[in-house]
Amino acid sequence: MEKSSIPAGILRIKIREALNMAPGYGKSEAMLLQIVNQLTGGGIGLQELRDAREWNHEQGYIRSEEDSDTDEILWYITASGIAKQKL
Amino acid sequence: MSTIDPRADAKLQNLPEEALQDLWRFRHPEEGGEKLTLEAICVEIPRLYGVSVSLSTLHGFYRWLEVKRRLDQREELVNQLKRDLAKDPEVSEAQIRTAGQRLFMAEGILEKDSKVFFDMVKIGQAETKLRQNDAKLGLQKQVVKMDERRLALIEAKAKRLDEAEAAIRKISTNTELTPEAQRAAVLDKMDEFFGLKKK
């Protein structure tokens, strides 16, 4: 799949923006992809999303949790991610 | 000391809730109100909030605001239903949390219908009970197996005892053996019975 025209840096911000909405609730990958596409106007592929998400994860701006009932990974923004969104 | 100046979109996103509502109304006025263009809002924002923004930043901000409002509404709805459900003493905190998360992600059933939410929790409770029953049944099966093993061991022991008794009786009544030989043979049989016989 072709990459979108959204720069990686912007996409990383959009991931945090998405997770910072209703931050008490986890978002699945599908939900995250849907929100990020709404925020960017569309065209973001799954691999692009995963790359940007992984970067945020490595920086400690987001965290994941496995839903033991559904085996689904849910994503949350961390306190440091919320602080980063204010800058 | 250097300070980082927040991005313009971050400044807008972090405006107080009231300001966000005003900005929303600029683009989505109540009936009879005037809808402002992005250009007009771009001019108004520095005056109202002391933030200078570009047109493209403002465009992105309104996309963000639309999604945020939708998710905020969904969050509020789920939180309200969770509060209602918390009044039911039969429902645990963990069940409420799990059901809340599911409902938050289930976009299709987000009409304000608390019955759906309650049903979800009740289904979850039923599943938990079924799992508990399965576990109990599994435990009972294990107990039965252990009892069967124990019974088999007791039967085997009794059989060995009967065999040993019969063998000892046979030795004791064997008139061909001297009393010493009988005694040695009995001791030998007992060693065999108790597993003490050297090979």
Q: Is the dihedral of CA B21, B23, B29, B34 positive or negative?
A: positive
CB of B105 less than 8 A from some CB of A: yes
DSSP H/E element including A9: helix A8-19
Look-up of token digits 């405006």: B15
**Secondary structure class of A44 (helix, strand, coil):** coil
**Which residue of B lies nearest to A23 if distances are taken between CA atoms?**
B75
Out of B10, B74, B101, the one facing A86 most closely (by C-beta) is B10
Tell me, what's the pLDDT at B1? 47
DSSP H/E element including A50: helix A46-59
Crossing angle (nearest 10°) for helices A46-59 and A8-19: 70
Q: Domains (ranges, CATH) in chain A?
A: 8-85 (1.10.10.10)
Q: Would you give per-residue pLDDT tens digits along chain B (199 residues)?
A: 446 677 878 889 989 999 999 999 999 998 888 899 999 999 999 999 988 899 999 999 999 999 999 999 999 988 988 888 888 888 888 888 888 888 888 865 555 555 666 666 666 666 666 777 777 777 778 888 888 888 888 888 888 888 888 888 888 888 888 888 888 888 888 887 777 776 6
pLDDT-wise least confident of A51-55, A60-64, B3-7? B3-7
Residue A50 has pLDDT above 70, yes or no: yes
- What would the two tokens of residue B34 be? 């005037």
CB of B94 less than 8 A from some CB of A: no
- Alpha-carbon gap: A17 to the closest alpha carbon of chain B (Å): 8
Residue B12's closest CA among B32, B26, B28? B26
Query: Three-state SS across chain B?
Result: CCCCCCCHHHHHHCCCHHHHHHHHHHHCCCCCCCCCCHHHHHHHHHHHHCCCCCHHHHHHHHHHHHHHHHHHHHHHHHHHHHHHHCCCCCCCHHHHHHHHHHHHHCHHHCCCCHHHHHHHHHHHHHHHHHHHHHHHHHHHHHHHHHHHHHHHHHHHHHHHHHHHHHHHHHHHCCCCCCHHHHHHHHHHHHHHHHCCCCC
CB of A31 less than 8 A from some CB of B: yes
Out of B14, B75, B101, the one facing A26 most closely (by C-beta) is B101
Show residues of chain B in contact with A87, CB under 8 Å: 4, 6-7, 10
d(CA B55, CA B61): 10
- What would the two tokens of residue B55 be? 């047109």
Tell me, what's the pLDDT at B32? 80
Rounded percentage of chain A residues whose pLDDT exceeds 70: 98
Decide if A38 and B101 are in contact by the 8 Å CB cutoff: no
- What would the two tokens of residue B192 be? 């065999």
Taking the domains of chain B in order of start, what are their residue ranges?
8-112, 146-194
Residue B46's closest CA among B7, B12, B22, B21? B12
Crossing angle (nearest 10°) for helices A29-40 and A8-19: 120
Tell me, what's the pLDDT at B170? 87
CB of B86 less than 8 A from some CB of A: no
Average pLDDT over residues A56-72: 91
Decide if B67 and A21 are in contact by the 8 Å CB cutoff: yes
Tell me, what's the pLDDT at B58? 93
Average pLDDT over residues A73-87: 92
